[in-house]
Amino acid sequence: MGKVSEKSDIDFDSIAKMLLIKYKDLILSKFKKTVPIENIKFQNLIRSNQFAQGVLGQSQHLCSVYENPSWHSIVLEALDLDLIYKNVDKEFAKDGHADGESVYSDYLVKELLRYFKQDFFKWCNKPDCHHCGQNTSENMTSLGNQGPDAEESKFNCGTVEVYKCNKCGNVTRFPRYNDPIKLLETRKGRCGEWCNLFTLILKSFGLDVRYVWNREDHVWCEYYSTYLNRWIHVDSCEQSFDQPYIYSVNWNKKMSYCIAFGKNGVVDVSKRYILQNELPRDQIKEEDLKFLCQFITKRLRSLLNDDEIYQLACRDEQEQIELIMGKAQEREVENISAVSKTSNHGRESGSADWKAQRGEDGK
C-alpha cells in the first residue's frame, strides 16, 4: 500500500507542476500577444469617449513621471533622513520586530506620513502676504485666477491664484505648481501638491507606489506592502495609513470613480474606497473601463521579462478577488465603528468653508 501511495503522490506533484506551467504560459500569452482587434477597440474607445481620453492622458503622465532617479536623489538630500530612520527604528524595535523583517517598510511609510505632514509640508488655504510676512493669510482676499507667467511656466504651473492683502494692498500670487521638485522648494499647497510630492518621496525610498485619482477632486497614494501582500491606502494630507473608508464614511464624501496609476498598471480601485454614497458611474461602460485599464496595463508591461509579468499578474488576480468578493470592504467595515469613534469625522486638512463646499466635512 505504501508504494501505491508514494506513486500517487509523485503523479499528483507532476500534474500540479504541469498545470502551473500551463497556467503561467496562459497568463504570459495574454500579456505578450498583440491582438489586432484589441488595438482597433482601443482606438475607437479613445475617439468616442471623453472619460477614456482622460484616463489615457493621465496614464501617460502619472505612470512614468515619478520614475526619475535624479529626482529621487534630490528628494533624499532634502529630507532629514537621520530623524526619519531614528524614529522608524525606535517604533520598529518598540514593537519587538527583528532586523530584516519585511514589515519595516510599513513603519517607514508611517513615519514618512508623520514627517511630511508635521515637519516638512504646509497646507495652504490662502498664501501669506509677500509684503507683510508670515501668518498673514487671513488678511488675503481672492482676486481670482490668472495664467502663469514665463517663470512660473517653467515648473509645470497650470494656473495661478491671485490675492490682495487687506492691510497693505499688495498683490500676492499663489502658483499651483505640478513640478514635484519645485514643491520641494515651496513646501506648500493643497491635496494635489501634497500627493504629487509625497508620491515622489515614496518612490525615492524604492517603494512600489500608485497615484490614485478620484473624479470628485481628491488624490492620494497606494503603496504595496510586501508584509501584508496588498496595496495600502496612504493619504499624506490626513497622515492616514490603511484607512480607505475615511472618504465615503468619515468625510461622508460622494464618489463615483477612483483610478490607480502606477508604473506597471492602471486599475479601477473604486470598490476599495466607495463603501457608501456611490454616485452614478455613467461616464463609461463598465466593460469598456475594464478593457481600457487592461490594455494600458498590457502596454506598460510590454518590456518586462516573463517572471516579472507573471508575478505582477498573480498580484493583480489577488487584488481583483479581494475587490470583487468584497474582502476590502469586509475588513474595513469591521474596523470602521471602532476607528470612527476615536477619529475626527470629516476631513482634517483645509478650512471649514472649503471642506463644506466640497462635501468633505462629514455632514
Q: Are 9 and 2 in contact (CB under 8 A)?
A: no
Say how far residue 74 (Cα) sits from the centre of its chain.
21
Q: Are 172 and 165 in contact (CB under 8 A)?
A: yes
From the candidates 128, 235, 242, 361, give the one annotated as an active-site residue.
235
In sequence order, which residues have a C-beta less than 8 Å from that of residue 198 and are 6 or more positions away? Answer: 112, 116, 121, 221, 234, 236
308/201 Cα distance (integer angstroms): 24
DSSP for 290-339, written as a single string: HHHHHHHHHHHTTTS-HHHHHHHHHHHHHHHHHHHTTHHHHHHHHHHHHH
| Runs of H (alpha helix) within 79-215 | 81-94, 104-115, 150-153, 180-186, 191-204
Eight-state DSSP code of residue 221: E
358/51 Cα distance (integer angstroms): 21
Q: Say whether 131 is catalytic.
A: no
From the candidates 124, 128, 195, 218, give the one annotated as an active-site residue.
218
70/273 Cα distance (integer angstroms): 33
Find cell 493583480 and name the residue.
Answer: 316
264/342 Cα distance (integer angstroms): 37
Q: Say whether 233 is catalytic.
A: no
Q: Please, which contacts does 354-361 make with residues 24 or more away whose CB atoms are closer than 8 Å?
A: 354/125, 358/217, 358/253, 359/251, 359/252, 359/253, 359/254, 360/218, 360/247, 360/251, 360/252, 360/253, 361/251, 361/252
From the candidates 63, 157, 165, 191, give the one annotated as an active-site residue.
191
77/68 Cα distance (integer angstroms): 15
Q: Say whether 191 is catalytic.
A: yes
Phi and psi, residue 18, nearest 5°: -65, -45
Residues assigned a catalytic role: 191, 218, 235
